[in-house]
Amino acid sequence: MACIFCQIAQKQIPTNLVFEDEQIVAFSDLHPVAPAHLLIVPKKHIDSLADLLEKDKALMGEMIWRAKVLAEEKGIAKTGYKLIFNCGQDGGQVISHIHLHLLGGEKIKCIV
């Protein structure tokens, strides 16, 4: 079975992209847990954080930078937002393709 995030990045599954460049796509989460809930997804398939290689460092930096810019565009940067990477099943990762959650628009519960 093909990866749903790869299919979205390749535009095989229609999605309202809020951002796209050569490396990354960003779109609203289908099951939001906050008023603003975006997913920032690399076009390159990487299963999880545990599978990152040293050559992926710049891509991870781009994902975090894009989250910051999107938070500003969504108007949630001044009040605050949360960035979350889930890693593996025990870490809450549901889809085996690395992705960054951008959550904001309300006070987000802190779990640590």
Band (pLDDT 50/70/90 cuts) for residue 47 is very high
Token pair recorded at residue 19: 């951002």
Summarize the confidence of residues 7-14 as an average pLDDT. 93
Residue 43 has pLDDT above 60, yes or no: yes
pLDDT in tens, 61-92: 999 999 999 999 999 999 999 999 999 999 99
Work out the number of other CB atoms within 10 angstroms of the CB of residue 67.
23
How far is 111 from 74, CA to CA, in rounded Å?
24
Q: Is 37 a catalytic residue?
A: no
DSSP 56: G
Among 37, 45, 97, 99, the one annotated catalytic: 99
What are the phi and psi torsion angles at 28 (to 5°)?
A: -70, 140
Tell me which CATH code domain 4-104 carries. 3.30.428.10
- The reported pLDDT for the residue numbered 19 is 98
Summarize the confidence of residues 10-27 as an average pLDDT. 95
- Domains of the chain, by residue range, sit at 4-104
- The reported pLDDT for the residue numbered 110 is 79
